[in-house]
Every structure is written in C-alpha cells, then in structure tokens.
Amino acid sequence: MKICFPVENNNGLESPVCGHFGSAPAFVIVDSESNEVKAVQNSNQHHAHGMCQPLKALGGEQVDAIVVGGIGAGALNRLKAMGISVFQASAPTVQENMSLFGEGKLPETNATCGHHHGGGCDH
C-alpha cells in the first residue's frame, strides 16, 4: 500500500507532516510493503483557494491513502471520489504516523479547512 504524507520539508521518514494538504511544499510517499520512501514536490502548491488538484499536486504518483494534518473540502472530496482514503495525522512525523497507521490507530477524516486537528489552514 502506498501512503502519502504532505510534508513541510523532505527529511524522509522524519519529515514533519504539514498542516494542510494543498499548501504542502512536498509529499513523502511510503510503500508499506517494500518500505520504499519517495519524495515528490507539490506541483500544484500555488493554487487558488478551493482549486487544489490532488493528482496534479502528486505529479501523477498513484497512492492508496493520504495522511493529513488538514485538507480543504474540494481536495478531500476529489481524493475520496478517486477511491483514495484520507486519514487524520495524529503525530508530528511521517514515521510516527506510519506506526499508528500500521496499528490501525489513524481515523479516516472528514475534517476540512478551518476545522482540522492540531493546526490551521495555511491560506
């Protein structure tokens, strides 16, 4: 399973999870089966409010799930429509959230911009 994390900066598994999906400078994608870690720059970082294009942001990378600090309604709905599960980050780093994910301790989220856990919207 490929799990994507929006991050403030790329430090691999030690990367801090960004407070907002669409405004994240980069994404760290972790393959839970092979333990491969890949970083992707957010190619849709500077978009108009409400106009996030998740597939464009991910540079065409295919993922099965996304773990976020926060996300806007448009991006959340687009991801769910594509069959991508969106989970609420519960720890500060990718590694800590991967552990929680593996234990089934990350809840799926319906939180949107302005209501997300542990932070505010970046725009």
Q: The CATH number of the domain where 90 resides is what?
A: 3.30.420.130
**Does residue 76 fall inside a structural domain?**
yes
**Does residue 38 fall inside a structural domain?**
yes
Question: What was the pLDDT predicted at 30?
Answer: 97
Place 71 in a pLDDT band, splitting at 50, 70 and 90: confident
Q: How many CB atoms lie within 10 A of CB 27?
A: 24
**Does residue 119 fall inside a structural domain?**
no
Domain that holds residue 96: 2-102
Work out how many domains the chain is built from and give that number: 1
Rounded Cα–Cα distance for residues 69 and 52 (Å): 16
Rounded Cα–Cα distance for residues 84 and 104 (Å): 16
Question: What was the pLDDT predicted at 121?
Answer: 44
pTM, 2 dp: 0.83
Q: Count H helices, E strands: the chain?
A: 3, 5
- Residue 3 φ/ψ, nearest 5 degrees: -115, 130
**Does residue 117 fall inside a structural domain?**
no
> Half-sphere exposure (CA, 13 Å, Cβ side) for 113?
17
**Does residue 10 fall inside a structural domain?**
yes
Q: What is the pLDDT of residues 76-121, one digit of tens each?
A: 888 899 899 999 999 999 999 999 999 999 999 876 655 433 444 4
Question: What was the pLDDT predicted at 42?
Answer: 82
**Does residue 122 fall inside a structural domain?**
no
**Does residue 112 fall inside a structural domain?**
no
Place 51 in a pLDDT band, splitting at 50, 70 and 90: very low
Question: What was the pLDDT predicted at 54?
Answer: 57
Contact in structure between 69 and 20 (CB atoms under 8 Å) = yes
Q: Which of 109 and 56 is assigned the larger pLDDT? A: 109
Paired tokens of 76: 């959340």
What DSSP string runs through 60-111? T---SEEEES---HHHHHHHHHTT-EEEE--SSBHHHHHHHHHTT-PPB---
Distances (CA, A) of 48 to 16, 51, 76, 91: 24, 5, 16, 28
**Does residue 109 fall inside a structural domain?**
no
Q: Does position 2 have pLDDT exceeding 90, yes or no?
A: yes
